Amino acid sequence: MTVYQATVSAPVNIACIKYWGKRDTKLILPTNSSLSVTLDQDHLRSTTTSRADPSFDKDKLWLNGKEESIQPGGRLSTCISEMKRLRASLELQNSDLPKLSTFPVHIASSNNFPTAAGLASSASGFAALVASLASLYELPATPSELSLIARQGSGSACRSLFGGFVAWEMGSAPDGSDSLAVEVAPREHWPDIHALICVVSDDKKGTSSTSGMQRTVETSTLLQHRIAQVVPARMSAITKAILQRDFPEFARITMQDSNQFHSVALDTDPPIFYLNDVSRAIIALITEYNRTAGTIKAAYTYDAGPNAVIYAPKENIKEIVELLLHYFPQAEPFADPFALGVDKQGKLP
Ligand code: PMV
């Protein structure tokens, strides 16, 4: 008996230009383009196994061993049915193919890091889901084509289909057909940039990105300024900085954009606070570190949670880790030690 099964893993990505706001909530079309770095090591990944079998009674999904319901018309169901649709059109072209599009699928996904703690678990999760179904169905789709489907699971997931430096172009088509991820530069273009993940708290976040974004779109005037006046120029400037490997410029834009995203959260009614005192202390520390160096040696950025991600050239990482551990001695700050080049104690190997 043939077993139809595939396992694929996908990494987390951390945005330098933040996506915040939807112009279409069903298709997940953003109010601005965004740009991220995909973390490329073994930590911070989702691994997903999909299996199609005619004996299954319905589609099912387990997340970290717990069954999740697949709501009709919901995001999981949309991604699964879009992938089945692509498989069905392949089967139409080649009648020798087994009719996997008609079989129910069982999907098991697990994260090797805390789920929903502002560590972009939905990004790696939906990217791995779509990639594992693409592998199961042997689809000839490009990462950009798959990003169109992953986007409908979780917006930021579309960027995790590529490694390296990735843009999500917001597009303008009402059907979302041009709102997709594209590679800005592969990881090898600038391997010197490392990411330090400082887990300030691994609690589940208070305001989900979905409800937070909706409230921001409805109430924030600062968001309107951001999407019209600020992000387009920042997208071009950071792309140029990446292509020229200009770390101070890359870092400056990254920090400014994180600050503006959290300002927009605060400008929401009622306001949303994702940062806590430790997050703000890390901002102060990195600011002081750069000021005393007389140049920008590190950049902080925060998603919808209190955890800091610090981007820095490899040569600065040891110094930054020592600084962080000096001021936060209780910390077990690094969820991604391999990517960072440090072990759990913060020591370089
Ligand atoms: O894809 P979502 O709905 O989890 O939204 C992610 C939003 C941020 O992480 C805050 C920013 C981003 O661009 O990843």
Q: Tell me how far the alpha carbon of residue 124 lies from the centroid of ligand 1, in angstroms.
A: 11
What are the structure tokens assigned to 129, written together? 């889901």
Q: What are phi and psi of 299, to 5 degrees?
A: -130, 135
Q: Tell me how far the alpha carbon of residue 191 lies from the centroid of ligand 1, in angstroms.
A: 24
Rounded Cα distance between 164 and 141, Å, is 19
Residue 46 and residue 109 in contact, taking contact as beta carbons nearer than 8 Å: yes
What are the structure tokens assigned to 158, written together? 């579309």
Q: Would you state the pLDDT for residue 345?
A: 33
Mean pLDDT per 10-residue run, the chain (349 residues)? 94 96 98 95 88 98 95 97 98 97 97 66 92 97 97 97 97 98 97 90 80 98 98 98 98 98 98 95 97 98 93 95 86 44 30
Q: Any residues with Cβ below 6 Å from ligand 1, and which?
A: 15, 18-20, 34, 120, 122-123, 154-156, 209-210, 303-304
Q: Tell me how far the alpha carbon of residue 272 lies from the centroid of ligand 1, in angstroms.
A: 15
- Provide the ipTM: 0.99
Per DSSP bridges, beta strands 105-111 and 60-63 are: parallel
pTM to 2 decimals?
0.93
Nearest-atom number in ligand 1 for the CA of 17 is 13
Best mutation site among 13, 14, 20 for ligand 1 pocket (most ligand atoms within 8 Å of CB): 20
Rounded Cα distance between 341 and 191, Å, is 13
CA distances from 90 to 54, 86, 147, 148, 191 (A): 18, 6, 19, 18, 38
Q: Would you state the pLDDT for residue 249?
A: 98
Rounded Cα distance between 301 and 309, Å, is 5
Q: Tell me how far the alpha carbon of residue 86 lies from the centroid of ligand 1, in angstroms.
A: 26
Q: Tell me how far the alpha carbon of residue 207 lies from the centroid of ligand 1, in angstroms.
A: 12
Q: Nearest 5 degrees, angle CA 308-CA 310-CA 312?
A: 175
Q: Whose CA is nearest to atom 8 of ligand 1?
A: 303
Q: Is 52 helix (H, G, I), strand (E, B) or coil?
A: strand
Q: Would you state the pLDDT for residue 197?
A: 87
Instruction: Give CATH superfamily name and number for 193-340.
Output: GHMP kinase, C-terminal domain (3.30.70.890)
Rounded Cα distance between 66 and 61, Å, is 8
For the chain, the structural domain boundaries read: 4-189, 193-340
What are the structure tokens assigned to 224, written together? 């309107």
CATH 3.30.230.10 corresponds to the domain 4-189 = yes
Residue 14 and residue 37 in contact, taking contact as beta carbons nearer than 8 Å: yes
